Structure 1
């Protein structure tokens, strides 16, 4: 009984701290004209630093396997706000352009973003969303208890096809922790119903947050 009371007090304190420290969310200024075409590339894996348009490649990363990439693509497409007021192109068309555009011969970041710019031109798009999976570590254990929590690192790049410049970059680097290790995340703990989630669950949270920050 004492343990349950302690846990309840801990949760209440965590929520109070979370609310007190929470800032008013920043308004995203979506500068992308809805009449423009946004092409969405499938997830690729970065195993070398130059394969990232921006950012860094951590040490000892575990790249996702093919089935995990398919799951990431499905989560991304489902999370995108596709409607009559937004021209979003994804799937086989973009994959076809990725195959037809010549891969960079030199291993530099400039050649990498140039490659993606050409893919966007092939799609006749004004913007290209480039999602990259850096690290994918699945949960060891079950929802009730995990000996090694899930951990994912994802990068979302929004490229201006005309200029070849990087409009925005969002990185999601997250490993689930126990409530006692991070009391400030009590809201996430409650949202996940106190369970240990999978790498796909974490990816969904990260992708939804990233798309919002990118204005997509």
Structure 2
């Protein structure tokens, strides 16, 4: 009986050894940062300079750095203006350093686009904008879809819906290091009982598209570590 126990122990130790060997040989997997990673990233970004571009409305899939545009979408021309104002307000109390908004906007207009086709050229253009502005990172915001609610805050026949992305580009490496995608259509408590906490936090109100977007911006800023 003792010899069998030793044999089983030996097999178990061998299995653990092999498993450990597999773990050591496996390369670490890169993953998108969760909201809990934001405080650490905020510290890592200290003494770095950021250029925040104005919100843009992508015309083609090549304007995006990830994903694809929906077949049916609608964005009023005034939406980016309101989003720029909201984002600027949210970043006013940030600890990071930002280049003046006018400089970032000017560089966005004058910096050359990359020679590479498609999204590579789009990414290169953001890197060139960052170099023009003297920034370490570039924040690229885009609004993809914007649907205003039909009705009032106490009764809507059609809820507000907002879809936007925030990209964070490393100017030195030319890589997209982080991205945040907000795509939400407000739902009633009856439609989604699992979102009861969110429903209560909104006081049972039907939000406007701008109010919905403001919630998303705050989440995005936190996840990007700004």
**Which TM class, normalised by the smaller chain length?**
0.7 to 0.9
Q: Is this contact kept in 2: 1:117–1:161, CA < 8 A?
A: yes
Conservation of the 8 A alpha-carbon contact between 2:51 and 2:101: no
Output aligned runs, 1:33-112, within 5 Å.
33-65=45-77, 67-80=78-91, 82=93, 85-103=95-113, 108-112=118-122
Q: TM-score, normalised by structure 1?
A: 0.82
Counterpart Cα distance in 2 of 1:154 and 1:90? 23
Structure 1 partner of 2:204: 194
Q: Which runs of 5+ in 2 are unaligned?
A: 1-34
* CA separation of 1:122 and 1:33: change in aligned 2, threshold 3 A: same
Distance 1:90 1:136, change over 3 A: farther
- Higher normalized contact order (CA 8 Å, seq sep 6+, divided by chain length): 1
Larger radius of gyration between Structure 1 and Structure 2: 2
Normalized per residue, the structure richer in helix is: 2
The answer to whether the 8 Å contact 2:166/2:181 transfers is yes
Give the whole-Å Cα distance in 1 for the aligned partners of 2:100 and 2:164: 18
Q: CA deviation at 1:57?
A: 1.4
Counterpart residue number, 2:174? 164
The offset of 1:92, in angstroms, is: 1.2
Q: May I ask how many residue pairs the two structures share in their alignment?
A: 191
TM superposition score normalised by structure 2: 0.79
1:117 correspondence with 2:132: no
